[in-house]
Structure 1
Amino acid sequence: MTRLPIDDAIPDLLDAISAAGRAVLMAPPGAGKTTRVPLAMLDRVPGRIVMLEPRRLAARAAAERMAETLGEPVGQTVGYRIRGEAKVSKGTRIEVVTEGILTRMLQSDPALEGIGALIFDEFHERSLNADLGLALAWEARGALRDDLVLVVMSATLDAEPVAALMDDAPVVRSEGRAFPVETIWLDRPLPKETRFDRAVTDLVTRAVAEAEGGVLVFLPGEGEIRRVAGALDLPAECQVHMLFGAMEMKAQRAAIRPATSGRKVVLATAIAETSLTIEDVRVVVDAGRARRARFDPGSGMSRLVTERESRAEAEQRRGRAGRVAPGTCYRMWTRGEEGALPAFAPPEIEVADLAPLALELALWGSGDGADLAFLTPPNPGVLTEARTLLTELGALDGGRITDHGKTLARLPLHPRLGHMLTRAGRGAADLAALLAERDPLPRGASVDLALRLAALRDPTRHNANRGTVERIRAEAKRLARLAKDRPRMSPAEMASLAYPDRVGLRRKGDQPRFLLSGGKGAMLDEGDPLAGERLIVVTDTDGNPREARIRQAIAMTEGELRAVHGDAIGWHKVCDWSKRDGRVVAREQERFGALVLDDRAWKNADPELVARAMLEGVRQLGLTPSPAAQRFRARVALLRDSDPDLPDLSDEALMETLDDWLLPHLAGVRTAAEWKRFDILDALRAMLTWDQMQRLDRAAPAHFTTPMERRIPIDYGAEVPEIEVRLQEMFGVTEHPRVGRTPLRVTLLSPAGRPVQTTTDLPAFWATSYDDVRKDMRGRYPKHPWPDNPAEAQPTLRAKRRGG
């Protein structure tokens, strides 16, 4: 057996396992850890050894390579289990599984009876299932299985945080072995108008012409692989193979095996980055793109998106050219552009939809997962949103998992689609598979989901992608076997089960805009056939948080909505302030979520609700105090310096406490016009106790009583209190009016009501300036008295008698 670099590190790894029962193994790509470590542990670990792989192809290939090493067929000592396929037997000691399989094993048997070790391979990829699997396994080890061996293997991840997470697990390093690889960058950046497929084809053609040996081309997905394969025009000696996860196993094996003649050119996804060694490869062409799962608010689930790869991924891909001999790596970007690449790809737990994780945590009994050992804890806000969705689907109740939730957790589907399949039965299998897969129709097709269902029956007529259709059909058959028979539902009814928050009601107006039952808005292109529908179910949008553009939807009748969601439709009495109408609007509405299906006036609306709605209007309109209310506020403000128990009647304080002081006085006020006429004085006065009012009236009276017993309001809004009064009405006053010890500022008015003098010392005015005023006023107003000695004259508001 050929010696591999990992063989030098295996003794230290076995010693660490024996001493601590756990270890972190760092080994670069090509070191041989995937196929050598499980075999080396056979004699040290009792029971089965379960190794996790992030991809199905890697799981099968690893199991086959280890079985070949033992001279056995797969399914004896070494076997594998992936979604929809298993090759294991009673004698299987090493079982290679994909990451979701481990979660199911832990949830069904936390003690992992019969299993002696778990190996997390390629942990640096930081998939959500790997992070969850390690967290659950670590808790199970601490609570139930202290003898369970845990080994985390990684190629590029920093080992120290993982070791610390596992209670300072021993770290074992393998130096590995790699041949030198020459890196070739583009001379200049690609023009923006350059088609991606064309650029890749040109670079592959160049690599084939300049370098020797097999060529491995990294592309983001199946679509790009097929387009590049169709465009390549290579020498006859070149055999082009495709390699992606959805391929048949026979074709995958052909891509991995050494070429029997000529040169091999393998067009592969990131599936070829790790775990797999593709024979004969000495040249790598890296297109610089990676496809990874990110939460898509448009679909409400995780979607595969295409992004620039990270520097760590680029280095991983480059290393593939130096596994068997010195090699060459062609990069489809310039050396200067490399610095703009992110250092690492984000952990999936940071960017993925957390609804499946929230469901698994609830099933485990961990709630928000705060007590679990996550290398990157889930975002609390995103996790809360996920738990809200699960509650709406009936999977959680008060944060605890329901029987329905346990059923959903067992299904290999997003909880939305699992809920639909469970409630609608086998008839929903096609739709569930379709919604979980990429769109089979070409770009530019109508958003109508019904067309996509029709394309599954007749892909040629609808110009559908045959590869995608075949995958959807195969998945639908598998899902149908997991479902029960249920009464038949329409596609719209089934879609609304998965997306109860995405039922859309067309808004009024010419534009096809929809309000969704979850409260968000969405819009359609005017020319789309669904643009005129009153009700639709939206299954995919572009995710715009303000008003999303609909990418996929299906028409729905109100009868279908009531048939499925009748228990969630009900009448609500609503009192709201309408800014547009400037009034309180009281309505009785039949609602489904945010959608109003029927609307009528609410006669005899509850006065308290009307008043509370009017408060919102007041918050928008602002306070409109009368002059009397303004004077009252000024009096209180004047006294608060010496009497802090008095309430704060400033605009800010009053607006913050509207519910307390204004609500009891708003009866009968429903419109902006009525509010403008409303005097808040009584409401303000009610804020003071009887004792406070008495103190206020003594210290800052509201009025000054003239010698003629007329009450003149005192204005406290200026620097000092002031009044305005007719000059003749103050005749005979020999002491200046005061508020407490403060002299009033008195503005004396002419008979026409115009100011003639302002004073804070009336006796002094009589004795000095009055004569000048008298001379001027007597000529203007000869019919009014202007006595020589006003301090001794009788006050009056009348003109002189004729002849007087």
Structure 2
Amino acid sequence: MDSAFPIAELLPRIRESLAAHPRLVLEAPPGAGKTTQVPLALLDAEWLGGRKIVMLEPRRVAARAAAGFMAAQRGEAVGETVGYRIRFENKISAKTRIEVVTEGILTRMLQDDPSLDGVGALLFDEFHERHLAGDLGLALALDVQSGLREDLRIVVMSATLDGERLAQFLDAPRLGSAGRSFPVAVAHFPARREESLEAQTRRAIEHALAQHPGDVLVFLPGQREIARVESALKAGSGTETAAVVIPLHGELPIEKQAEALRPDPQGRRRVVLATNVAESSVTLPGVRAVIDSGLAREPRYDPNSGFSRLDAVAISQASADQRAGRAGRVAEGWAYRLWPESQRLDPQRRPEIAQVELAGLALELAAWGSEALRFVDPPPAGAMAAARDLLRRLGALDGEAIAPFGRRLLALGTHPRIAAMLLSPRADDERALACDLAALIEARDPLRSRSDALAERWRALAAFRSGRGAGAASRSALAAIDAAAKQWRRRLRLESAPPPDAPAHLLGDLLLHAFPDRIAYQHPGDPRRYLLANGRMARLFDDSALYGEPWLVASELRFEAKDALILRGAPLDEARLRRDFPERFREVDAVRWDPARRALTALRESRYDGIVLSSRPAGRPDPAQAAQALTDAVRELGLEALPWSDALSQWRERVRSLREWMPELGLPDLSDAVLLETLDDWLRPAFAGKTRLDALDQEALSSALRAALDWNLRQRIDQLAPVRIAVPSGMERGIEYRHGEPPVLAVKLQELFGLADTPRIAEGRVPLTLHLLSPAGRPLQVTQDLKGFWERTYPEVKKEMKGRYPKHPWPDDPWSAVATHRAKPRGT
């Protein structure tokens, strides 16, 4: 460890805190040394017991740099005591005890081994960036800590975040470190009238080089802007001779990234053009001036469209301060902001979970087996519902549970859409082509034109591979795409090379497995408009290369006021669509609810999924057809469209539980699958005379569901699986029934004094799972062995709780104590 870092004086307190408490919030500004010094300081902690420390680093550049710096401090190579794991790259060994990992790697570690065998601490670095995978990783880690690994330490580290709020959420101590910084003079560098960002940035760079010593760090939103500014500088007067221009972003090869992290070997001044990868975690030596565009490219989700897109958005004030601080790491510095001084920024960065598409998160939660996780900011309900709908279209979910295909998708470690496409082809040449498409979808656009044809991009890639000219495409971008495609083929253990040529529709035939909701059929009345499989509408550019295609699949869409705009796509073969998804083509007599007319309409429809291919009137619906139409609507929308009460949901779980525990009763199967299959039997009669879904109330739904059971059987259900049970305190407490799990009785510990054995139901066959609560209603113990709890665990609970709740009884002998739901009387 290096005592020159400001964090050094705080390290003993960090070790002491983690010895006493399993969680910690650590705030330290850039340059304090938290990323590289804290893991090293914890290696010999007694509580670690020789186990590993895993540190989550959001960015690949920072993960490599942090591991390299820590290894160098120990005089070792990366992969010995300190190593890293990132996508497609692994630098660890049997000796590694500090693993720096990126976000997807941590999630896979937790999913594959929830007990985290051999890991003693998880460190979440740069948590203020609030990436979705970081929030998920923390939620999973907290679940592991609370249920499986109370000894696991969790440290959340950040340069800029609301530490007090996070410490309260985690119920954790909060420590802060001073940074190592010099004064930074901040000024706003105004744009000229109608001046582009590139031109304004070039002027600011030339000013900084002329007026100040040292290197210049420039923050730009993305690779596109970096390339444009680099070109502008090369076309300018004298900048290239005054300084060497170096780009820095996450898609660069390792050696190019390393170039930005060290001084120029010839002693020249440097202008580093960086995305927000340089905002934290990595140190750029020699920087004395920062130029900040005030922009970052981040994903945004529009809940009205269901589509995500990368937008250049204004950064937060916290990010602006952090960027400016980069100029004061070695001496006094200067920061120039390219936005007006009057512009106000949001105080903190918005969490990604609130503004992106959530299919990956929904699949991870389905694999975990629970959505009842503690998130710093919970995922929006609407975005989660849309994500689950997509996963069902992909075949990843069976109802709410993960399907076997969903587990195969997760194993690939990429977005479920891309994973579904990679797993769909049978022939090796198509699998290799799918790897190309995965690389193209994930990469920046290699074309310099606005063409919406994905085939043009693939043909440019094929030309690049064959040594032919790349045309209007970036050779560096194609090289990166080619490398990523090779990684995917290696990941799939695929030896076949992609074909040298492929018809455009073959690309679409593969893409439809990634974007089943974006399969598009040409509108019969407007050849530029398309009906989407998810029921929405989209349109083409005026000069679209896809014009005239009857079927398309859109790999990229942009939501606009009326229709979505197809930014990129490929034609598909209807015969292939019918072969791969025959069940989605239907010819039906439909009675539909028309919201505009507020009436049912009978139609004869030819359909593919949500696309009506053709339709004609079929006359006035009779009452039976109306009831069937409403029943079909429930079949399409799902059982959640019905007005379930809590009492009816619990009654259903009681019946399902008793069906397992006492099969001799002959109770009906009330699973989702069976209820949906038998809607015509039990639900359609309840819609008699109704023309609206909301005309069915909770009472009518309850009567419809219970109608299959006679009165005697209903009485037996109440006796064998009661709603409530009397406890020794004299009170009645509710029993919660959960599908596939023992029933739960949550009760304060004092109410069970004197009770020796665990209560049972179903004629004594099923013990209740007791959630023993503190006087404040917080869980103390979960057990089905009450006797064992009194004998072995209660003395420790009493010792811990007696001081916390002195007004409540904690007798030495719980067997003979009087049960109560009250505190002790005053004076006792």
In the TM superposition, residue 588 of structure 1 has moved relative to its aligned partner by 3.3
From 239, 245, 250, give the equivalent of 2:250: 245
Q: Secondary structure at the match of 2:378?
A: coil
Answer yes or no: is the 8 Å Cα contact 2:307–2:558 preserved in 1: no
From 464, 470, 479, give the equivalent of 2:479: 470
Distance 1:581 1:121 in 2: 56
Q: Secondary structure at the match of 1:530?
A: coil
Q: Secondary structure at the match of 1:531?
A: coil
From 299, 305, 313, give the equivalent of 1:307: 313
In the TM superposition, residue 4 of structure 1 has moved relative to its aligned partner by 1.2
- 1:51 paired with 2:55, answer yes
Distance 2:355 2:336 in 1: 30
- 1:275 paired with 2:291, answer no
From 313, 325, 328, give the equivalent of 1:322: 328
Identical positions, percent: 44
Q: Which residue of 2 aligns with 1:181?
A: 184
Q: Which residue of 1 aligns with 2:390?
A: 389
In the TM superposition, residue 258 of structure 1 has moved relative to its aligned partner by 2.1
Matched positions, count: 612
Distance 1:406 1:330 in 2: 49
In the TM superposition, residue 525 of structure 1 has moved relative to its aligned partner by 3.3
In the TM superposition, residue 274 of structure 1 has moved relative to its aligned partner by 0.5
- 1:83 paired with 2:87, answer yes
Change (3 A) 1:436 1:443: same
In the TM superposition, residue 397 of structure 1 has moved relative to its aligned partner by 0.8
Q: Which residue of 2 aligns with 1:157?
A: 161
Tell me the amino acid that sits aligned with residue 558 of structure 2: D
In the TM superposition, residue 591 of structure 1 has moved relative to its aligned partner by 1.4
In the TM superposition, residue 29 of structure 1 has moved relative to its aligned partner by 1.0
Q: Counterparts in 2 of 1:569-718, with a 5 A limit?
A: 569-575=585-591, 586-597=602-613, 607-608=622-623, 660=689
Q: Which residue of 1 aligns with 2:529?
A: 513
* Greater Cα radius of gyration, structure 1 or 2: 1
Which sections of structure 1, spanning at least 5 residues, go unmatched? 616-657, 664-804
Which sections of structure 2, spanning at least 5 residues, go unmatched? 426-430, 500-504, 631-686, 693-828
Distance 2:15 2:598 in 1: 78
CA displacement 1:452-474 (0-9 Å, x = unmatched)? 22121125454122232222222
Tell me the amino acid that sits aligned with residue 37 of structure 1: V
Change (3 A) 1:496 1:235: closer
Q: Which residue of 2 aligns with 1:294?
A: 300
Answer yes or no: is the 8 Å Cα contact 1:422–1:483 preserved in 2: no
Q: Which residue of 2 aligns with 1:568?
A: 584
Change (3 A) 1:483 1:609: farther
Tell me the amino acid that sits aligned with residue 460 of structure 2: A
Q: Counterparts in 2 of 1:13-52, with a 5 A limit?
A: 13-44=14-45, 45-46=48-49, 47-52=51-56
Distance 1:80 1:256 in 2: 18
Tell me the amino acid that sits aligned with residue 217 of structure 1: V
Q: Which residue of 1 aligns with 2:774?
A: none
Change (3 A) 1:581 1:294: closer
Change (3 A) 1:7 1:537: same
Distance 1:498 1:120 in 2: 32
CA displacement 1:211-261 (0-9 Å, x = unmatched)? 111111111112211221222141624222211111121121121112341
Q: Secondary structure at the match of 2:239?
A: coil
Distance 2:690 2:219 in 1: 70
Q: Which residue of 1 aligns with 2:215?
A: 214
Tell me the amino acid that sits aligned with residue 387 of structure 1: R
Q: Which residue of 2 aligns with 1:418?
A: 419
Change (3 A) 1:441 1:264: closer
In the TM superposition, residue 576 of structure 1 has moved relative to its aligned partner by 5.4
Distance 1:213 1:580 in 2: 67
In the TM superposition, residue 568 of structure 1 has moved relative to its aligned partner by 1.8
RMSD: 2.9
Distance 1:184 1:439 in 2: 35
In the TM superposition, residue 428 of structure 1 has moved relative to its aligned partner by 1.1
Distance 2:243 2:310 in 1: 31
Distance 1:661 1:256 in 2: 70
In the TM superposition, residue 595 of structure 1 has moved relative to its aligned partner by 2.2
Tell me the amino acid that sits aligned with residue 457 of structure 1: A
Tell me the amino acid that sits aligned with residue 250 of structure 2: G
Q: Which residue of 1 aligns with 2:574?
A: 558
Answer yes or no: is the 8 Å Cα contact 2:521–2:532 preserved in 1: yes
Q: Secondary structure at the match of 2:55?
A: strand
Change (3 A) 1:160 1:515: same
Distance 1:582 1:403 in 2: 41
- 1:266 paired with 2:272, answer yes
In the TM superposition, residue 601 of structure 1 has moved relative to its aligned partner by 7.2
Tell me the amino acid that sits aligned with residue 186 of structure 2: T
Distance 1:28 1:381 in 2: 36
Moved more, 532-541 or 36-45: 532-541
In the TM superposition, residue 146 of structure 1 has moved relative to its aligned partner by 1.1
Answer yes or no: is the 8 Å Cα contact 2:626–2:690 preserved in 1: no
CA displacement 1:780-802 (0-9 Å, x = unmatched)? xxxxxxxxxxxxxxxxxxxxxxx
Distance 2:157 2:513 in 1: 41
Distance 2:14 2:323 in 1: 26
Tell me the amino acid that sits aligned with residue 419 of structure 1: A
Change (3 A) 1:52 1:105: same
Answer yes or no: is the 8 Å Cα contact 2:81–2:96 preserved in 1: yes
Tell me the amino acid that sits aligned with residue 490 of structure 2: R
From 499, 502, 511, give the equivalent of 2:518: 502
Q: Which residue of 1 aligns with 2:340?
A: 334
CA displacement 1:362-383 (0-9 Å, x = unmatched)? 11111xx3x2121111111211
Distance 1:544 1:113 in 2: 49
Answer yes or no: is the 8 Å Cα contact 2:600–2:691 preserved in 1: no
Distance 1:49 1:583 in 2: 63
- 1:543 paired with 2:559, answer yes
Answer yes or no: is the 8 Å Cα contact 2:316–2:348 preserved in 1: yes
